[in-house]
Amino acid sequence: MKQKEAIAILEAGHNVLLTGPAGSGKTFLLNQFIAYLKKKGIGVAVTASTGIAATHIGGRTIHSWAGIGIKDHLSAREISTLSKRSYMKKQFEKAEVLIIDEISMLHAHRLDMVDAVCRAMKKNGLPFGGIQVVMSGDFFQLPPITPGSDEADFVYKANVWPEMDVRICYLEEQHRQNDEKMIKILKSMREDSVSDDILSMLNERLKEKPQFGHRPVRLFTHNMDVDSINNAELEKIEAEEYIYKMTGDGEKKLVESLKKNCLAPDKLILKEGAQVMFVKNKFKEEKVIYVNGTTGEVIGFSEEKLPLVRLLNGEVITVAPDSWTIDDEDKILARINQIPLRLAWAITVHKSQGMTLDAAEIDLSRSFGYGMGYVALSRLRSLSGLYLLGINENAYRLDPAVATYNRELISQSEQARVDIKPKNKRQQGTLLGRFKR
């Protein structure tokens, strides 16, 4: 499906699953739709399954928004108590559309819990109390963690799913990879058809060494490796330290949530020569200045003591503090401010989800669980930017049940395209019309 077709389905007011391969523009499309809703004055709740994903789209976790926290079950009494809270009443009065990003990491039973809360708050027996639900994510990426089970509890197994009449928008245009070899590798992983030719292409990257003046970011599967490498590399540099402390304002719990889930550290220590990564997108008059995942080297500091970062293309950027917020319509509930950088000699595969990298050294020798290798490799624009430190068989593994379901999603997306086309001109209407009926 093309993005313009997906937008037409979203604007028609359907419940939607926006899915497709890594780099197909899901988050970009979500941001377009959110901007459209705000322009039309339609109440939108912007959420994600994890705190890190929520900071990427300026929202909050679905657990926080729905008041379910980390609970695995809500009794009728607990839902009744929630429905009496004034801030919840106010929040739901305005909510006409619910966005949930990175849906692959949300458990099915939690989607049912959100549904139950929405019905109670809206006093409406329809799924989610009649709120339009827009979910975005790729089930081939990191799944929800289900202790004691090998089977992922994906949202499409939720009890409410069959009632939702979900339209599937499967995006296939590739906006990240610009290299046929990398596209072929990732496609073969999604189709569970990793041939000897594919393995050979990957194994060739085991022999390659970075050609840049400095080492690209390294991706590891475990936190311990990342922290020790970054601290050790910074310690090696004999230069003056510049320390930047995060500040925040707004509702205390929300500020703490932002701090916990922001990829920029609470205390950032930089030196000239430090390898860094931008952890936010920045545009100026539609021109990209940097994106989440852009890497570079600190080459000095300005008179205002702001870091000067040289990118791989040679451009030098003076990096000013930026902010991350949790918004409620036009009101900012919480905000944190920090230099949008982190040390980037190494990061974890989990924290790389959502990033775009020009080059990376990737160690998949201790891969565990489905999707880890796919997430790591799909961060890269091209195969030439991949420098493999190691790889095991787990790295190629994607959930076989998801592979089967993926074929069904593609078929349903094709049907959604057929359904929307005849109605586009006259019958589609607008989202505003959906709520007037």
Tokens read off for 72: 């695995």
Band of residue 426 on the pLDDT scale cut at 50, 70, 90: very low
Burial category of 315 from C-beta neighbours within 10 Å (exposed 0-12, middle 13-18, buried 19 and up): exposed
Mean pLDDT over 100-119 rounds to 94
**pLDDT of 220:** 92
Is pTM beyond 0.85? Reply is no
Q: What's the confidence (pLDDT) of residue 427?
A: 36
As given in the structure block, the two tokens for residue 316 are: 């030098």
Question: Do you know the residue count of the chain?
Answer: 437
Spatial distance between the Cα atoms of 418 and 30, rounded to a whole number of angstroms: 22
In Å, what is the CA distance from 75 to each residue of 67, 79, 131, 219, 425?
13, 6, 22, 42, 45
145 falls in which pLDDT band (50, 70, 90)? Answer: low
DSSP bridge pairs for 268:
244
Q: How far apart are the first and last CA of the chain?
A: 28
Per mean pLDDT, which range of 40-44, 48-52, 377-381, 419-423 is the poorest?
419-423
Q: For 288, phi and psi rounded to 5 degrees?
A: -80, 120
What would the mean pLDDT of 178-203 be, rounded to a whole number? Answer: 89
From the CB of residue 38, how many other CB atoms can be counted at a distance below 10 Å?
15
Give pLDDT, residue 430: 43
Find the angle CA(52)-CA(321)-CA(261) to the nearest 5 degrees.
Answer: 15
CA distances for 295 relative to 72, 225, 309, 428, angstroms: 39, 19, 9, 43
Helices 86-94, 108-122: inter-axial angle, 10-degree rounding: 90
Provide the pLDDT for residue 17. 97
Q: Which tokens is 132 given?
A: 């339009």
Tokens read off for 173: 């245009």
Asked whether the beta carbons of 265 and 230 are under 8 A apart, the reply is no
The packing angle between helices 3-11 and 26-40, to 10°, is 40
Q: Which of 215, 223, 237 is nearest to 360 (CA)?
A: 215
Instruction: Tell me the pLDDT band of 216, cut-offs 50, 70 and 90.
Output: confident
Higher pLDDT, 178 or 401: 401
Which domains are present in the chain? 3-175+400-436 (3.40.50.300), 193-323+336-396 (no CATH)
Dist CA 98 CA 197 (whole Å): 43
Order the strands of the 16-19 sheet from edge to edge. 60-61, 44-48, 97-101, 132-136, 16-19, 167-170
Interval 98-108: pLDDT, tens: 999 999 889 99
Question: Does the pLDDT at position 187 exceed 50?
Answer: yes
Tell me if residue 207 falls in helix, strand or coil.
coil
